[in-house]
Structure 1
Amino acid sequence: MTGKSRPDLEAGYNNRAACPDHPAVMARWKAEAQAARAAHPPTVLRYGPGPRETIDLFEAGPGTPIVAFIHGGYWQALDPSWFSWIAPPLLAHGISVAIPGYDLCPEVSLATIVDQMRTATALLTERAGGPPVLVGHSAGGHLAACLLSEGRAERAVSISGVFDLRPLVHTSINTALRLDPPEVARLSPLGWTVPEGAVLDCIVGGGETSEFLRQSRTMAEVWGAGGAQTRFEALGTLDHFTVLGPLADPDSTLVARIADLALSA
């Protein structure tokens, strides 16, 4: 924990309040996702019986590596259809893209969501003959780190992830999450087993709150000291929403890094 007051923690984790332009950014996500789905209709895979237990799979071709993008929304908002636009730049590199859905809090617990991502990742691993490279944003960055810790993937890029859940207990975000101290300890990958030799990039927008910068920097330091291959990078003045912008450009450094992780696996 940081010793910050409840108001400071609320400001540090309320990304929509911190980013007044987020409605325009999210509207662009939705429009670009619809265009991407029209140009590259995904195959829908089912990994469980629930309506949200599906994976949108954009295939680059037989035998191509898979990048799995796990969306954010504080485990309580959004779905894969918002993020289809992430697929075309990676398809251009010969990489298939999977975007799994999951149930949302408060209808289910965060522990249930972690279990769902375990099942979805197992399905993708079986389909590809090896684990996918994981890319997660915000809550998805947390989920990617959980899966990496358990050896369900070997390489991951966490963008604006939350790895220590303790501060969230003292914010309005916990109204839907309903986390208590024991569950926080169980579900914070900062304290999980460090996967020695696994690769974790902790990327964050340089214009994000001090709490999100701290989360990514600390995760890279702790896991790096434990034997994982970690890298911390703050991207310019990008905020919690615009930090995903480089994923739309097939020639961006971030897309090139993800492609390299997938193609060299």
Structure 2
Amino acid sequence: MSHPPYRWPDPDRDHANGAFIPGSADYPARWTEAAAAFRRSRKSRLEPDVVYGPAPRERLDLFLPDGAAKGVVVFVHGGYWHLFSKAHWSHLAAGPLARGYAVALPSYTLAPAARIAGITAEVARACWFVGTRVAGPMVVTGHSAGGHLAARMGCADIAVPVARVVPISPLAELGPLMATGMNATLKIDADEAASESPARHALRDGVTAHVWVGAEERPAFLMQARCLSEAWGCPWTVDPGQHHFSVIDALADPGSALCEVLLQGL
């Protein structure tokens, strides 16, 4: 795969993941198929499309482990806040489920129907709801834009019943996205970049955090992950050999280093 010479600055290229991943167009269908197969395999331990708020997309799937749940993991999907839904990612629940944790996967209203601040509020509402359904510690994780939303659940300005956040490839500083073409959809302005950038907020007292990112990701995503780690004074892991689309696969493996970090200290 060849690309034209880099011209700095180029915010759209900096944040273009698929253009730098061979076979990237095949991933959504692969995710959808794996997720559907997993839902079928766990049908007896799945509560699908549970309503957690008033908007049409405020629905979540709740997977329950075979025994009593030790706690719950909330996985928030990515897609630059305007793509995908919970239905693409069910298979990623396999790792925490095998370790005895329930897993909730919420959908949320997508941009441009919602601003990022509104999406943050929906995810917070989902976390509060999940806390009423599953006892024990709650971990919030998510990928890309979902990593942003997971990180927001750990910020000092939001009160949610979360013990730990593990943002994966998060968008922690929204300022650079204001210069991208997709901001015509997202409509991030300076005020929202300030209020919705996790790296501009303190980590809430009592919440632990660990940032995870693939070593083969775009430099902008490596910068974003390091930015959040430095702002919060928390560990970060650069996962060797993983790109933006493969870095989440380890969630399906209960013995993976990512699952170990996810549930560390609980």
Q: How does 1:1-265 map to 2 (within 5 A)?
A: 5-7=8-10, 9-41=11-43, 42-44=46-48, 45-60=50-65, 61-130=67-136, 132-149=138-155, 150-152=158-160, 153-224=162-233, 230-258=234-262, 260-261=263-264, 264-265=265-266
Contact 2:211 2:225 in 1 (8 A): yes
CA distance in 1, matches of 2:183, 2:79: 13
Contact 1:6 1:171 in 2 (8 A): no
Contact 2:93 2:103 in 1 (8 A): yes
Say which SS state the counterpart of residue 236 (structure 2) adopts. Answer: strand
Say which SS state the counterpart of residue 258 (structure 2) adopts. Answer: helix
| Structure 1 position 6, deviation (Å) | 4.3
CA distance in 2, matches of 1:135, 1:29: 18
Stretches of 4+ moved more than 4 A in 1? Answer: none
The number of aligned residues is: 253
Q: TM-score scaled to structure 2, two decimals?
A: 0.90
Higher helix share: 1
Q: CA RMSD in A?
A: 1.7
Say which SS state the counterpart of residue 242 (structure 1) adopts. Answer: coil
CA distance in 2, matches of 1:63, 1:207: 35
Q: TM-score scaled to structure 1, two decimals?
A: 0.90
| Structure 1 position 51, deviation (Å) | 2.3
The letter for the 2-side match of 1:57 is L
Percent identity for Structure 1 against Structure 2: 35
**Structure 2: 5+ residue runs without aligned partners?**
1-6
**Structure 1: 5+ residue runs without aligned partners?**
225-229
| Structure 1 position 33, deviation (Å) | 0.5
Can you list the C-alpha shifts for 1:39-63, whole angstroms capped at 9, x where unaligned?
0122032111222111100011444
Contact 2:94 2:253 in 1 (8 A): no
